[in-house]
Structure 1
Amino acid sequence: MSLTTVILNILLPPLAVFLNHGFGSAFLISILLTALAWLPGIIHAFIVNG
């Protein structure tokens, strides 16, 4: 995992997921989790971009 991916995972989790996986279910889940609470969005981004 590159440094830019780590930074994006923390600052903008949906963008990091979108750049690595495109528009799909992982991206939509990331948006939902980030909107509900920031920390679950970050955790999801790290797991998906693993």
Structure 2
Amino acid sequence: QTKMKRKAVGIWHCGSCMKTVAGGAWTYNTTSAVTVKSAIRRLKELKDQ
């Protein structure tokens, strides 16, 4: 379970692990971030083959 709470516009803080990260203004994940993460995962899988 994630405890990400918005501190300010684009600033998110996790209550369980105490990390502060940058994200979207109103949601933690943005569509472009999801696209980049999936592309990185796909490239890592191709590299491992």
Kindly indicate whether structure 1 or structure 2 has the higher relative contact order, using CA contacts under 8 Å at least 6 residues apart.
1
TM-score between both structures, scaled by the size of structure 1: 0.30
TM-score between both structures, scaled by the size of structure 2: 0.31
